[in-house]
Amino acid sequence: MSLPTAEETGNMAEMEMQWAVKAMHHAETYMKLLRSVGPGKFRLCPIEDELYKDFRNNFPTLNIAHLNEDDFKTEASKAKWREFINKYENRITDYNFGSLVRIDCKGDYTQENSMFAMRTQFLCVEIARNKEGLNKDITL
């Protein structure tokens, strides 16, 4: 018996549910770390400094305080992100897995304040928020 191809599986409800559970668990864990340890006092990945520098070189004007979905979801922005993310295929664990990222850095993960992103996008945004002091108001 062979496994179905990606085209044959489509969007299976159970796969979507597994992704949602994993993404929410990741988001909850991240917020617990921010609140208990404090922003910038832990590393999100081993190449954090390099990733931050490359992110800001490639996306120097991206507003990370309050994300605009167009900076992630338009065809042009998706193409630019895809090229950026693929450089990290062998360097960041789960580099292209789905994650949730907060739209407004001052808020928690809620339905209104969360959007889908790739793991590398999450890392870029949250590393930058930590390094640029935008997560400092997260309640400890």
Q: What DSSP string describes 49-73?
A: HHHHHHHHHHSTT---SB--THHHH
Is residue 139 domain-resident? no
Give the chain's domain count.
1
1 is a domain residue: no
d(CA 4, CA 113): 35
CATH of the domain at 54: 1.10.3560.10
Determine the pLDDT at residue 12.
61
Answer yes or no: is 26 within a domain: yes
pLDDT digits (tens, 9 = 90+) for 95-112: 998 899 999 999 999 999
In a domain, 9, yes or no: no
The reported pLDDT for the residue numbered 40 is 82
Domain annotation covers residue 103: yes
In a domain, 39, yes or no: yes
Yes or no: say if 118 and 81 are a contact pair by the CB < 8 Å rule. yes
Q: 72 lies in a domain?
A: yes
What number of residues does the chain have?
140
**Which pTM value belongs to this model?**
0.86
Question: In this predicted model, what pLDDT tens digit does every residue of 47-59 receive, in sequence order?
Answer: 999 999 999 999 9
Q: Does residue 2 form part of some domain?
A: no
Q: What is the DSSP string of 69-137?
A: THHHHSHHHHHHHHHHHHTTTTTSTTTTSEEEEESBTTS-S-STTEEEEEHHHHHHHHHHHHHTTTTTT
Range of the domain at 38: 15-131
Closest to 106 (Cα-Cα) out of 68, 124, 133: 133
